Amino acid sequence: MTQKYKNKWLLYGATGYTGKLIARLAKEREESPVLAGRNPTKLKLLSQELNLEWIAFDLSSINEVAKHLENFDTVLHCAGPFAVTVEIMAQACLKSKTNYLDITGEIPVFEYLHKLESQAKDVGIFFLPGVGFDVVPTDCAAAMAKSEMPDATELDLLFVGFGGVSAGTAKSVIAQAPNGSLIRKDGILTKVPQFSISKEFFIEGKFQKLYALPWGDVYTSYISTKIPNIKVFTKFSESVVSIGKFTQPTSFLLKNKTFLKMAQALIGFLIKGPDEKMREKGRTIVQAIVRNSKDEKLTVQIDTLEGYRFTSESALLAIQKISYKSIGSGFFTPSLAFGKDFVLEIPGTKRSNSK
């Protein structure tokens, strides 16, 4: 491949649920990404719809992927489950000196990319994962709260109203199920059983019971804020909690690659993601609650879009920002790359009263 795509970026995973949302929004905003993925038939159809260029390649070879990436300054990686796809894409980025962004919320992915920071600096690129709903609003809310309580020692992050999930998100979640949940305790990632930690929070005028989950901020918010004790919470129905606790002893089966692929294939068939009406009407509330050693408390609340709509807006804004302003090289969280107020630049997002 010899053609140089000057001033264009590569959108890999363009035909997935979230990839399509980003591609269509990019076209609407007069951006011209080159669409990419492994399925040429789907890519051709999307490229005809949007009048954008496309290339097809899979993620089986670092060298082959690097040959495609060397024509681009930046790739926005949207092909999950990211725990499966990140290694070849990230290593290809190092080889081709291509900046890397993704929309993951998977802790193992953040952890893996963070370990590559010195290599990224050596070749002059950056890794900026989590530029979607995972983890922009929570990361920025955490950074705001830390700036207003610099001596904070404990951080609770929570979100409610996320709505439905796409097949890709569900596949990522089920792949992580055997690992249980995670919290940050005294600066250390600590495993806890799924649904073993719950707490009452005052949200939208009433107390709601939320459960801790292994959201990406358990890893990234520590990098952004250095707060040593971090938990992330969201709402689950009691039936989901009961089923989760009941099936937890058998979740080890998902460590078997064949069994996992079968389960993910079934998910891909059954789950289609939120429809347009849900994306347009949905709202999400995010809170960052910090405490210090004096037991003083401070809450930052963000009112924003439905999760997938937010992801398409925030990922595109991140791409636009790096096109005219260098953030340097290495590993970045969204708030470290663009500042704690980055979330407030997303259309339809505001900081609101938590009382």
Query: Residues of CATH 3.40.50.720 domain(s) within the chain?
Result: 10-132+309-339
Instruction: Give the model confidence (pLDDT) of 280-299 as tens digits.
Output: 777 999 999 999 999 999 99
State which CATH number among 3.40.50.300, 3.30.360.10, 1.10.10.10, 3.30.230.10 fits the domain covering 136-306: 3.30.360.10
What's phi and psi for 236, nearest 5 deg? -125, 145
As a whole number of angstroms, the distance between CA 107 and CA 215 comes to: 7
Instruction: Give the model confidence (pLDDT) of 5-34 as tens digits.
Output: 656 899 999 999 999 999 999 999 999 999
Short-list 120, 193, 203, CA closest to 156? 203
276 burial (CB, 10 Å; 0-12 / 13-18 / 19+) is exposed
Contact criterion met (CB below 8 Å) for 50 and 23: yes
Q: How confident is the model at residue 222 (pLDDT cuts 50, 70, 90)?
A: very high
CB atoms within 10 A of CB 206: 7
Question: What is the amino acid identity at position 281?
Answer: K
Q: Report the CATH superfamily, name and number, of domain 10-132+309-339.
A: NAD(P)-binding Rossmann-like Domain (3.40.50.720)
Mean pLDDT taken over the chain? 88
Quick one: pLDDT at residue 2? 40
Quick one: pLDDT at residue 1? 36
Query: Residues of CATH 3.30.360.10 domain(s) within the chain?
Result: 136-306
As a whole number of angstroms, the distance between CA 305 and CA 178 comes to: 31
> CA dist 260 to 172, 193, 257, Å?
11, 20, 5
